[in-house]
Amino acid sequence: MTTLDPGRGERIVVKVGSSSISGDRRAQIEPLVDGLARLHARGQVILVSSGAIATGMPFLGLEDRPTDLPLQQAAAAVGQNVLMNRYQRSLTRHDVVAAQILLTASDMEMDSHRGNARNAIERLLELRMLPIVNENDTVATHEIRFGDNDRLAALVARLVGADRLILLSDIASLRTAPPDEPGSEPIDRVPYGDALEGVRLGASGSHVGSGGAMTKVDAARLAADAGVRVTLTATPLLERLIAGERLGTEFEPNPAPAAAPRTA
């Protein structure tokens, strides 16, 4: 595995899941931001953050995630505002300013929209802002959406030519089988092109099932194919990862990706 070295000035995309920053785990925003600020001070960092709907639910008196689209959109509209406010208040401790970017699946499919998004992110990075990207749940539909912010993070990493993508959730690492099964072992490294044959993906220390693990694998492969090194681990482990510890599961990048300039 390759250790993370913030001193190299890498361009890094960090994705965090809803379960890591909402509800009982809201307090994880502070240490997460501490890690982001450290990366920001020594390179360029973009955060892809889930959590708008989950954050908005309590303000609408909802205990369970809504199933109908208009109520999901309403929760997202409230939650996105609150979530950005929480991030900015925490980032202010480090004199860092956040910039909100909301994208839809169609934005990433249309050349002009995709180019505009890339140019905006590039300029924000030049201005030393910290872009925070999320799916635009208020206008997204069930039929046209990313489906999971792991995929959105991979697409953003490809879009900006990132050096590394860090997928954070409540999964410490991928495992060869569900963790409660005999013989289940953590997967430290996935060589580029490895089909993981014979592996029944399980999560380590996670409330996310194998389906959740599979979406992360798909996103990791999408980014790795473009030459992005991917690390999958748990949100509380970010600081240790930045400090150089070998943690989680690392997907090695394509050694010969197609050339993709960082600017339009």
Binding site, annotated residues for ATP: 15, 169-170
Rounded distance between C-alpha atoms, residue 19 and residue 168, angstroms = 10
Give the separation between CA 105 and CA 152, rounded to whole angstroms: 8
Contact (CB, 8 A) for 38 and 70? no
Pairing of strands 202-203, 249-251: unpaired
Q: Which of 52, 76, 72, 54 is nearest to 63 (CA)?
A: 54
Q: Is 11 helix (H, G, I), strand (E, B) or coil?
A: strand
In what order do the strands lie in the sheet containing 229-234? 98-103, 130-135, 44-49, 11-16, 164-169, 229-234, 249-251, 189-190
**Annotated binding-site residue numbers for substrate:** 50, 137, 149
CB burial of 181-218 (b: ≥16 within 10 Å; e: otherwise) equals eeeeeebeebebeeeeeebebbbbebebebebbebbbe
Binding residues: 15, 50, 137, 149, 169-170
- Tell me the two tokens of residue 67: 């199933």
Neighbour-count burial of 256, counting CB atoms closer than 10 A to its CB (0-12 exposed, 13-18 middle, 19+ buried): exposed
DSSP E strands, the chain? 11-16, 44-49, 98-103, 130-135, 164-169, 174-175, 189-190, 202-203, 229-234, 249-251
